[in-house]
Amino acid sequence: MKTIKSFIVTFIVALVLGSCTSDGDDTPKMDENPMAEFNLLASIAANGHSLELYSEGNNGFTTGYNEIFVRIKNNADESYFANPQITWLPVMHMSSMNHSCPKSDLAVTEEHNTVAKGYIIFQMPGNADEFWDITFTYTVEGQEYSLTETIDVAAPSDGKQKVTSFMGSDDIRYVLAMVEPTDPQVAINDIRAMLFKMENMMSFPIVENYSVTLDPRMPSMGNHSSPNNVDLTYDSNAKSYNGKLSLTMTGYWKLNLKLLNDTGVVLKGEDVTVENEASSLYFELEF
Ligand SMILES: [Cu+2]
């Protein structure tokens, strides 16, 4: 009798453990929303679908680097299309002309095949008379659709410069954007920036193998610098310029920069000296 009891107990324990394990590993997670923790920027209804745009932070579209996640919902059954092929084209409609901005491709993420991810770098905000829109062209179930939606692009709420568009000494227009740090600390921070050239109004390819010197200063405190900064060099895997940013105290910092091409010619920016307190090429942060 005792043996039978213990057998039954063992059997029940095995059953419970077994079902727990299969819940964790095998059961498809149909109800899990991969975007639950994200911020819905827009849900655009068209073609019987809802194209949803998400960001990680709580901001809307801002000038500078925006990481954006895209899903396409089939409104008929509330399901999300797997492996959607999506292209996008942001366009600013200005009073004198239209232009686009730097952007990545949209690629389905490894974690969730209903979620595509990419970035857009808006180089200027919209205003009362001039606005941005994004045209999406996408293919689901073998059919191509497209839609265009107007969006609000605002300057960052702290007013600090995270992106700059400028003419180089080689007469080429460039866009330089700070991607990191997003959460600066009193420490040696990783700094990451992306550089694009304006090939024409609609095309902004990545520029490789240039370099960016870095001289962070605190203008409110005698323009002091900080030790152990590392200039930004091109990382061909990340397709960005990476370096080290030393911040020795909280407050407002101006990150004075110089952009050099692949032969070391200065395209934009100046050294900070006693006579020259800032470079014409810079980022700003305050924390
Ligand atoms: Cu514009």
Query: Which whole number is the average pLDDT over 35-54?
Result: 95
Q: How far, in Å, from the CA of 121 to the mean position of ligand 1?
A: 12
**Are 140 and 174 members of one domain?**
no
How confident is residue 57, by pLDDT bands cut at 50, 70 and 90?
Answer: confident
Q: Is 253 exposed, middle or buried (0-12, 13-18, 19+ CB in 10 A)?
A: buried
Tell which wins on pLDDT, 11 or 199: 199
Residue with the two structure tokens 């209903």: 114
- Amino acid in the structure at residue 144: E
Residue 168 and residue 255 share a domain: yes
If you measure from the C-alpha of residue 152 to the centroid of ligand 1, how many angstroms do you get, rounded to a whole number?
Answer: 13
Higher per-residue confidence, 28 vs 126 = 126
Report CA(100)–ligand 1 centroid distance (Å): 8
Q: What are phi and psi of 237, to 5 degrees?
A: -70, -50
pLDDT tens string 155-191: 998 999 999 999 999 999 999 999 999 999 999 999 9
Q: How far from each other are the two terminal CA atoms of the chain, in whole angstroms?
A: 71
Q: Which two tokens stand for residue 91?
A: 């366009």
pLDDT of residue 21: 43
| Residue 131 alpha carbon to ligand 1 centre in Å | 8
Distance 1 CA to ligand 1 centre (A): 84
Rounded to the nearest angstrom, the distance between the alpha carbon of 283 and the centre of ligand 1 is 19
The residue among 112, 133, 154 that closes a domain is 154
* Residue 149 and residue 44 in one domain: yes
Dist. CA 116 → ligand 1 center (Å)? 26
177 and 134 within one domain:
no
Ligand 1 centroid to residue 137 C-alpha, Å: 22
| CA-based max dimension of the chain | 96
Ligand 1 centroid to 99 CA: how many Å?
Answer: 6
Distance of CA 254 to the CA centre of its chain: 22
* 250 within 8 A of 186, measured Cβ to Cβ: yes
Give pLDDT, residue 4.
Answer: 52
pLDDT band at 280 (very low <50, low <70, confident <90, very high): very high
* 163-167 vs 211-217, strand pairing mode: unpaired
96, 129, 154 — which closes off a domain? 154
Averaged pLDDT score across all residues of the chain: 91
Tell me the CA–centroid distance for residue 204 and ligand 1, in Å: 14
- pLDDT tens-digit map of 118-155: 999 999 999 999 999 999 999 999 999 999 999 999 99
pLDDT confidence tier of residue 30, bands split at 50, 70 and 90 = low
Q: In the predicted model, is pLDDT for residue 115 greater than 80?
A: yes
The domain that holds 171 is classified in CATH as: 2.60.40.10
Report how many domains make up the chain.
Answer: 2
My answer on whether 98 and 128 are in the same domain is yes
How close is the Cα of 126 to the center of ligand 1, in Å?
7
DSSP class of residue 129 equals S
How many whole angstroms from 96 Cα to the centroid of ligand 1? 9
Q: What is the pLDDT of residue 6?
A: 54
Between CA 153 and CA 122 the distance in angstroms is 8
pLDDT per residue as tens digits for the range 2-20: 455 555 555 444 444 444 4
Domain containing 64 equals 39-154
DSSP state of 103: B
Cα(93) to ligand 1 centroid in Å equals 7
Q: In the listed set 154, 178, 205, which residue is the last one of a domain according to the structure?
A: 154
Which string of DSSP letters, residue by residue, matches 193-238?
Answer: EEEEE-SSSS--PBP-S-EEEEEEEBGGGTTB--SS-EEEEEETTT
Q: Are 100 and 91 in contact (CB under 8 A)?
A: yes
Tell me whether residue 3 is in a domain: no
**pLDDT beyond 70 at 28:** no
Could you tell me the pTM of the whole model?
0.87
